[in-house]
Structure 1
Amino acid sequence: MSRVTDMLALPRVRPDVALLGALVVITCIGLVMVGSASVAVADRLTGEPMYFFYRQAIYALIGLVTAFVVLHVPLRFWQANTFTLLGGGLILLVVVLIPGIGSAVNGAQRWIDFGPVSMQVSEPARLCLILYVAGYASRRQVELATSWGGLFRPMFFMVLASFLLLLEPDFGAAAILVTVAGMILFLAGARLSYLLVLGAAAGGAVVLLVLSSPYRLARLVSFADPWAHPYASGFQLTQSLIAIGRGQIGGVGLGNSVQKLLYLPETHTDFLFAIYAEEFGLIGSLLLIVLFSIVVWRGFVIGRRAIEAEQLFAGFVAYGMSAWLALQAFVNIAVNMGMLPTKGLTLPLMSYGGSSLVIMCLLCALLLRVDLETREPIRRQPS
């Protein structure tokens, strides 16, 4: 028992205060904004204006407890079980597609219901797959740098996972998974020319997917000029842009958004940032972007320190987790501002949703664990 306790004990080091502080502030802002952005839709659907806020608070508590447990698990445990994680991630993506098990919402079969709660499988699956790639990259650097085979093996599983994600469909999750995996493999020594060839092939496949699907083509057309069809395909984006525009410099104030009053759909999920920008304006939006930038900056610093200390798995995990959070935040904000087509990706640590919030808490716990394991121990002062 004492051996297990010693193994699970946290290293005696000072955590990265900037990273931890930014994560806490972002999560608190997200909780407040879910409460503010969802009052109208919650009242219409349930009769309880704070319904989604209460549920998000419960998800946050579950996420914190789970993150606390993960924070105490040494990275060598995850490194030793990367193949198990790979299998688990792929199984989740297959199971959700089985009729009667997977649940469809708005035409997308991405959830598995567990009574009163449901799990969006792409969230834990991506975490498992990125940890697998980090483990592979830490073991196979020579093969990655010298042969196609070294790059083909992990990318085969990423392409397979992406194919399963596209069947749901969840194009945004697939794009982020492949991008993060490619970045980790590049850092591990994979040749840039090989990655560019794979990237070109992926780009060609995306073009074919868009051209072969009227649904995706309509999304792209509406994104390019949403004002051409403001009450049809461009409705969601035009309402989002109106919300952001109303915020101006200082915002209209917390709770004073007009667009959340059933004008803008998905106010507490995919388009939470638009309501935040309306209520807190340009100043608040820039502050939020700075907070996300601090998390990514500190994450990359932690990753570099781990690699310099020859803790390759820890370094690749830190880079992968940071890149995932950065890309998802960028895509969500860009979609809200009309810079990218709608992707259905949440704003990390902020948008309503139990699966997203809990997995993001685990992501942050892994990043903090890398930080703790790669820092110098605190030296005791002589008494």
Structure 2
Amino acid sequence: MKDLYKIYSIVVILLIFGLVMLTSATTFLSYQNKYFKNNPYYFLTKQLIWIFLGIIVGIIFSNIDLRKIKEDKYLFLMILSIILLIAVLFTKPVNGARRWFRLFGISFQPSELAEVSMILYLSKKFSNIKDQKDIIVPIFLSFIVIGLIVLEPNISYALTLMIILTVIMIYSAVPAGYIISILILGGILSPVIITKYPHALIRIKMFFNNAPNNSQISNSVLAIANGGLLGRGLGAGQMKLLFIPEIQSDFIFATIAEETGFLGSVTIILIYVILFKLGKDISKKNLYVNRFFYILAFSISFTLFIKAMLHISICLQMFPSTGVTLPFISYGGTSMLMNLTMLGILANIERYNEF
């Protein structure tokens, strides 16, 4: 259980630090905007609510004996995600994309639920491969999920899920032929998808050409550079003053780097590396005990890690802008809820290691 307590400590640190940085990044934005009711603590208040809900859901999942849940329940969760993704395509577009459901005044992203559902289902199926059907069906359903997310359009999230799918297949020791086929198919479809959605092509061109009108990325890099070694100090960042759109979610690392400097930024990166290692250690404990838990623990740890690294890479202009949030730090209700749910599942795995 020592690894689990270490993970809890790390996540608590990230949550508290995230609330501090979120407040710093959004106070001016929310105070001067009527949409946010001119409330300087608008984002902080909503984030606290989502953290509270996430902790409750995480506790519930940490106490469910996942070993006793039949495979068809995971399949149902996967199909439910597909239905929600189909339904969201008929909602009113926001900024040209259909990604949100609004229910009882609360907005959530089905794609985030699909991510957790996919991880659970793939881990369950790949833990007991008996024939080709146990490989082809999960891959097929995963491609339906990824395809529906592309149609939103949310190509960046689809790419993230594609990476997660491939890595889970590798870790699960799925025959190499299937993995190579997936990579070839992805390589063939990528240019088609990119040309179909001009905004994706524009982002890629801006990334490779270092376009001067790419102000969001350019200002993110400038904020990081302004941080220097030790940073400007908490609350003293300048680029958060409406220079970087979506700074509370897609570019929160830019504020972290500007206000805490190189040392603070490296510390955050190391924390995510340690979190990944601890999760992988939990996975290894199950190698000869429970193959489902072995794959699931790694899949969750890798998902949180790759999302953190993609977010940081985007802020550093090392990867095209994709809108990936920084786990446990960025503002985002559904994202926070699902991240804490995955933490609860990881706690569940470690707990049942003791029995």
Name the TM tier (shorter chain).
over 0.9
Equivalent residue for 1:125, pick from 102, 108, 114: 114
Q: Which amino acid aligns with 1:85?
A: L
Q: Which structure 1 residue ranges, 4+ long, deviate > 6 Å from structure 2?
A: none
Which SS does the other structure have where 2:89 is aligned? coil
Q: Which amino acid aligns with 2:284?
A: R
The aligned runs of 1:166-205 (5 Å cut-off) are 166-205=150-189
Report if aligned partners of 1:134, 1:317 keep a CA contact under 8 Å in 2.
yes
How many residue pairs were aligned? 351
Q: Deviations over 1:177-234 (max 9, x none)?
A: 22222222222221223312221220221122223432211100111233x323xxx1
Report if aligned partners of 1:130, 1:177 keep a CA contact under 8 Å in 2.
no
Q: Which amino acid aligns with 2:58?
A: A
Moved more, 282-291 or 179-188: 179-188
Partner residue in 2 for 1:106: 95
Equivalent residue for 1:72, pick from 45, 63, 85: 63
Partner residue in 2 for 1:295: 275
Partner residue in 2 for 1:319: 298
Partner residue in 1 for 2:138: 154
Partner residue in 1 for 2:330: 351
1:78 Cα deviation after fit: 4.5
Q: Which amino acid aligns with 2:51?
A: A
Partner residue in 2 for 1:275: 255
Report if aligned partners of 1:211, 1:217 keep a CA contact under 8 Å in 2.
yes
Partner residue in 1 for 2:222: 242
Mapped to 2, the partners of 1:163 and 1:260 lie a distance apart of: 34
Mapped to 1, the partners of 2:2 and 2:305 lie a distance apart of: 24
Report if aligned partners of 1:79, 1:135 keep a CA contact under 8 Å in 2.
no
Mapped to 1, the partners of 2:308 and 2:94 lie a distance apart of: 23
Which SS does the other structure have where 2:99 is aligned? strand
> Is the aligned partner of 1:83 residue 2:75?
yes
Which SS does the other structure have where 1:49 is aligned? coil
1:313 Cα deviation after fit: 1.1
Q: Which amino acid aligns with 1:23?
A: V
Mapped to 2, the partners of 1:343 and 1:317 lie a distance apart of: 25
Mapped to 2, the partners of 1:318 and 1:36 lie a distance apart of: 33
Partner residue in 1 for 2:147: 163
Normalising by structure 1, we get a TM-score of 0.88
Mapped to 2, the partners of 1:78 and 1:203 lie a distance apart of: 36
Select the structure of larger CA radius of gyration: 1
Mapped to 1, the partners of 2:38 and 2:76 lie a distance apart of: 44
Mapped to 2, the partners of 1:162 and 1:178 lie a distance apart of: 7
Equivalent residue for 2:308, pick from 312, 329, 343: 329
Mapped to 2, the partners of 1:110 and 1:64 lie a distance apart of: 24
Mapped to 1, the partners of 2:69 and 2:153 lie a distance apart of: 29
Report if aligned partners of 2:125, 2:135 keep a CA contact under 8 Å in 1.
no
Change beyond 3 A, Cα 1:52–1:252: same
> Is the aligned partner of 1:51 residue 2:42?
yes
> Is the aligned partner of 1:26 residue 2:6?
no
1:150 Cα deviation after fit: 4.3
1:89 Cα deviation after fit: 1.3
Mapped to 1, the partners of 2:266 and 2:352 lie a distance apart of: 32
Which SS does the other structure have where 1:308 is aligned? coil
Which SS does the other structure have where 1:287 is aligned? helix
Equivalent residue for 1:217, pick from 170, 187, 201: 201
> Is the aligned partner of 1:368 residue 2:347?
yes
Partner residue in 1 for 2:4: 16
Partner residue in 2 for 1:137: 126
Give the RMSD, CA atoms, in angstroms.
Answer: 1.6
Moved more, 175-184 or 262-271: 175-184
Which SS does the other structure have where 2:235 is aligned? coil
Q: Which amino acid aligns with 1:36?
A: S
Partner residue in 2 for 1:63: 54
Which SS does the other structure have where 2:247 is aligned? coil
Mapped to 2, the partners of 1:211 and 1:164 lie a distance apart of: 17
Question: 5+ residue gaps in structure 1?
Answer: 1-12, 378-383
Change beyond 3 A, Cα 1:108–1:337: same
Which SS does the other structure have where 2:287 is aligned? helix
Q: Deviations over 1:89-145 (max 9, x none)?
A: 1111111112xxx343221110000233201111111111211111111221x43xx
> Is the aligned partner of 1:256 residue 2:236?
yes
Between the aligned residues of both structures, percent identity stands at 28
Report if aligned partners of 1:33, 1:276 keep a CA contact under 8 Å in 2.
yes
1:77 Cα deviation after fit: 4.5
Which SS does the other structure have where 1:118 is aligned? strand
